[in-house]
Amino acid sequence: MKNYIYSSILLFFLSVNIFGQSPDSWFVNENNFEYTMSFVTFVNIDGADLANTNDKVAAFVNGECRGVTNLIYVASKNRYYAYLTVFSNANEEVINFKIYDSANNTVKNVIKKEKFEINEHYGNLFQAYSLASPALSSSAEIIDFKFKDVIANDLSISGNKISIDLDNKIDITSLSALFELSTNSKLFIGTENIVSGNNLMDYSYPVEFQVLSADQSVLKQWLVTVNSSLGTALFYKKDAVCYKGGAIKVLFTKNNEEVVLSKAGIAYATQNINNGETTFSNLETGVYTIKVGGNVKEIIINLKE
């Protein structure tokens, strides 16, 4: 019996040392405080969202519990959230957070901190405040964007704008996008989650997307523009010989259309189509990219002996 008691006491102290303050002692005397702020949070441990109504989150100021609540299930989002109210008597107090994982009977400290702000509210069901251990990514980037069963003439990503050139024979009113995003982020139109490869849409006009980061702190706007080629272009080249540079000739059906010649990603020269053609002369050896009317071609100028 004595061994059992000693073992129980030892386990108690071990649990305190390993897990910190017991969640059973997380309690707030609300009458001691004048002001509140609130959070709508989702809770994540080791990359997985907690999904149990016995799980808890709590807020602390200098080790004193200032707010505690269990997770609840929200059917409209098919997800568990914590609605946390934090109490204080003054602005600027530093708030620390703890998570109780009931399945593993563990308490996790959250690195993220906040300062108390009277009547402030953080988070909602679409963009909830993240309480996670370890912290989740705040990146909200589109890394790659293309269309299912379609080969693009060109793709460019600049800032938050994506431009895709397609052949004019492709029906751009019914395209399904394939995309790669930042780790665990999600793509939306409004609040509708868009799934890669299963999202037929009309790209006759630019489409506005938004990417929500894994920690939901960043909602970045993106604009995708699809351009149909204005006609069919033909390209011819002449390699450099001795001291004489090479040449690239472009034939295109639309006069006055600008032709951009690039090398190593930098614009090298621009000319307009005149009488159906234009020629870039005296070119050094190397790899060139030519763009005209939604058509793109890579051409290598070699040194011919």
Q: Where do the domains of the chain lie?
A: 2-133, 142-228, 234-304
pLDDT range class, residue 254, cuts 50, 70, 90:
confident
Q: How many CA atoms lie within 13 A of 17 on its CB side?
A: 6
> For residues 238-270, b (16+ Cβ closer than 10 Å) or e, as one string?
bbbeeeeebbbebbbeeeebebebbeeeeebee
Is the CB of residue 86 less than 8 Å from the CB of residue 39?
A: yes
Class of domain 234-304: mainly beta
- The pair of structure tokens assigned to 94 is 């530093």
Is the CB of residue 45 less than 8 Å from the CB of residue 56?
A: no
User: Would you mind telling me the total number of residues written for the chain in this entry?
Assistant: 305
**What is the pLDDT, as a whole number, of residue 168?**
87
- The string of pLDDT tens digits covering residues 10-62 is 344 334 333 345 698 999 999 999 999 999 999 999 999 999 999 999 999 99
Rg for the chain, CA atoms, rounded: 30
CATH architecture of 2-133: Sandwich (2.60)
8 pLDDT higher than 60: no
270 pLDDT higher than 70: yes
The mean pLDDT value for 70-74 works out to 98
**What is the pLDDT, as a whole number, of residue 21?**
59
What are the phi and psi torsion angles at 184 (to 5°)?
A: 65, 15
**What is the pLDDT, as a whole number, of residue 253?**
85
CATH 3.60.15.10, applies to 142-228: no
- The string of pLDDT tens digits covering residues 186-220 is 999 999 999 999 999 999 999 999 999 999 999 99
Strand-pairing partners, residue 9, are: none
CB-based burial label for 285 (10 Å; 0-12, 13-18, 19+): middle
CB-based burial label for 138 (10 Å; 0-12, 13-18, 19+): middle
Is the CB of residue 240 less than 8 Å from the CB of residue 283?
A: yes
Name the region of 169 (left: φ>0; alpha: ψ -120 to 50; beta: rest): alpha
